[in-house]
Structure formats: C-alpha cells, structure tokens
Amino acid sequence: RISKYPSRFVVLTGGEPSLQVDSAFIDLLHANGYELAMETNGTHLIAEGIDWITCSPKGQTVIKKCNELKCIFEESTTTPDDHGIEADYKYLQPCDVQDAERNAQIVKRCFDYILEHPEWRLSLQTHKLVGFK
C-alpha cells in the first residue's frame, strides 16, 4: 500500500516498534527502495538493518549504540544520564512540568549545561511553545 506514496523514507515509531519489527520486514522495505528510521525507548534489542536509530531511553536500556540520543533534562538533573549509550548526536530536552516558573528554571539549567558540555544539543517540543499540548 505504501508504494503509492512518493516518499522513500519510513519512520517506525509509536508504542515500541522494536517489539514488532523483524528482519523480514526490514528486508522487504529495503528491497523496495525504502530507507528506515526507528524511534525506540531502547528497552529491547533492534533487528539488524535499520538505517537510523533514535533512542529516547525509558527505564533499563539494552541497546548500546544509536544515531540520535534524546534525553529529558528534569528538575533534579545535575548531569544527564546517557544510559551508557554511544550516539552520533546527543540531545537534551527540558522537561515540561506544567508550571511556567519551574519550566523557565529547567530550561535555563539545561541551556547552561549544554554551553558547558557542547557534545549535547538542545531539543525543544515546539508544539508546546506555540500552545499545542
């Protein structure tokens, strides 16, 4: 069904895609000219062949390498926990605690941390900045 769409880039996300995606599915998509990305929480091993992996760690992670690592910078964060995952790009996302004053403090501390640790980049939930929750 997806062949009627012109894009050749597929992002596997939602729920936890590593629970459903297997080598046969990956091979089928590759054989039909698709490039594959996956957004995972890192709690399950990922079948070989995914072209780009984004990990937003939740709980005990089992993957050790990804292309993109996205970590939440929370109120209690003094240093971000990269969960021992090697990544090409590391992103910190200030946690939204539904309180404007506390959010501003978290964002400031996150900025300061990134300025001191340039291996990390800033990730923002822009939909929240423009008023969509």
93, 73 contact by CB (below 8 A):
yes
pLDDT band with cut points at 50, 70 and 90 for residue 1 = confident
Structure tokens at 111: 């900025």
Domain ranges of the chain: 1-54, 64-133
How confident is the model over 4-48, as pLDDT tens digits?
Answer: 889 999 999 988 999 999 999 999 999 999 999 999 999 999 999
Q: Where are the alpha helices (DSSP H) in the chain?
A: 23-31, 100-116, 126-129
- Whole-prediction pTM: 0.89
